[in-house]
Amino acid sequence: MFTNWVKRAVMVVVAVLAVASLMWVGFLAGQSSERRQVLSAVERIEIKEAGISFQARLDSGATVSSINARNFRVPDGDPRDMRANVGKTLHFILENERGETAPVSAEIDQVRGIRTADCRELRYHVYLTVVFRGKEYPLLMNVNDRRRNTDKMLLGRNFLRHGWAVAVLEGV
């Protein structure tokens, strides 16, 4: 009898914590779900600095957005210590799914360790201006070689916080 009471109490506490955490996530996102605009899983996004657009997949599992880039160069940078290059200018080439390329330069905001399915690696993070539906959003993005990936750009939760939600596909 006592164990049933304890089990019920634990279940109530877990339920209350789950609801509270969902409310907290909604608070952190800055808008209630009723005021969010729902997007499809793939949207066309322009990168202002490059003047080219990407077919971007919305990835609610990613904290930070990611974009296909190559030929990284940090003048006067330390190639052995990426973190020493924070604050310096990173020069790189963006390439979208159509093969269109554009040179871009941006200040390195941070270097973070990223865990992927096959490895763990350090990546540069820079702010790029995303243009979507006529509005500009400064967005922190990790830049990495995504040429082997189908999706050349992923929009993570840092984009969704601007008031967007992803449509859930039924039957998937």
The tens-digit pLDDT sequence of the chain (172 residues) is 556 666 776 666 655 555 555 454 454 455 454 567 888 889 999 999 999 999 999 998 899 999 999 999 999 999 899 999 999 999 999 999 999 999 999 999 999 998 777 778 899 999 999 999 999 999 999 999 999 999 999 999 999 898 877 776 654 4
Residue 67: strand pairing partners: 143, 153
- Asked whether residue 156 falls in the same domain as residue 83, the answer is yes
- Asked whether residue 69 falls in the same domain as residue 113, the answer is yes
Q: How many domains does the chain have?
A: 2
61, 167 in Cβ contact below 8 A?
Answer: no
At 154, phi and psi to the nearest 5? -115, 130
pTM here is: 0.74
Residue span of the structural domain in which 15 resides: 2-30
49 in a domain, yes or no?
A: yes
Cβ neighbours for 39, distance < 8 A, ≥ 6 positions apart: 58, 164, 165, 166, 167
- Asked whether residue 14 falls in the same domain as residue 91, the answer is no
Q: Residue 138 CA to chain centroid, in angstroms?
A: 12
